[in-house]
Amino acid sequence: MKTLFLPFMLTLTFLLTGCKTYEKPQNVTPVNDFKLTAYLGTWYEVARLEHRFEKGMEAITATYSMREDGGVKVLNKGYKTQEKEWSEAEGKAYFVQASDQGFLKVSFFGPFYGSYIVMDTDYKTYTMISGPDLSYFWILSRTPTLDKKTLDRLLAQAKEAGFDTSKLIYPDQSKHHQ
């Protein structure tokens, strides 16, 4: 597996960075009564808005675990189809406000953080995430696929919040897993 290069991490960090204030889209509300321990573990990417740092990637997972300093370790992995190789990026996340609110800041490079907003989750099946603006959006699942009824409901919520769901990418999760 090849580690992601510095440009990938710089791009992700600078795109998500909100400097010292952590932005959120106007119609996006973080989950209240957020339970971090239930959220930890591996999630599979079901849908996303495309960005350079994930372009051409499939079989994408995000694994969250506790750090010794009380923060969250973030390990993102994906298969780069053109290069035919695995890539990963390790980051860290911390709560922006209260620890029972799904509003975190995430960094993949040094002191630069960007917004990570859990918009909806049931902890066992799905989670829906926003970044600092409407160009950053993900739907993740505990399994490589998500049932159509749940996906349709989440897509309707995303559209209502202002995300352009017609531009979503649905990565292939059916192969490449290690």
- For residue 175, being part of any structural domain is answered with no
User: What's the pLDDT score for residue 177?
Assistant: 56
Token digits for 123?
């902890």
Residues of the chain scoring pLDDT < 70: 1-21, 175-178
- For residue 57, being part of any structural domain is answered with yes
- For residue 90, being part of any structural domain is answered with yes
- For residue 13, being part of any structural domain is answered with yes
CATH number at residue 24: 2.40.128.20
How, if at all, do strands 85-95 and 2-3 pair?
parallel
User: What's the pLDDT score for residue 176?
Assistant: 54
How many domains are there within the chain?
Answer: 1
- For residue 177, being part of any structural domain is answered with no
Give the closest residue to 129 by CA, choosing from 90, 151, 158: 158
- For residue 176, being part of any structural domain is answered with no
pLDDT in tens, 94-124: 999 999 999 999 999 888 899 999 999 999 9
Give the closest residue to 6 by CA, choosing from 112, 85, 96, 84: 112
- For residue 25, being part of any structural domain is answered with yes
- For residue 160, being part of any structural domain is answered with yes
Range(s) of the domain holding residue 88: 2-169
User: What's the pLDDT score for residue 54?
Assistant: 82
User: What's the pLDDT score for residue 109?
Assistant: 85
Write down the pTM of the prediction: 0.86
Residues of the chain with pLDDT > 70: what percent?
A: 86
**Alpha carbon distance 56, 157 (integer Å):** 26
What is the dihedral sign for C-alpha 109, 144, 80, 85? positive
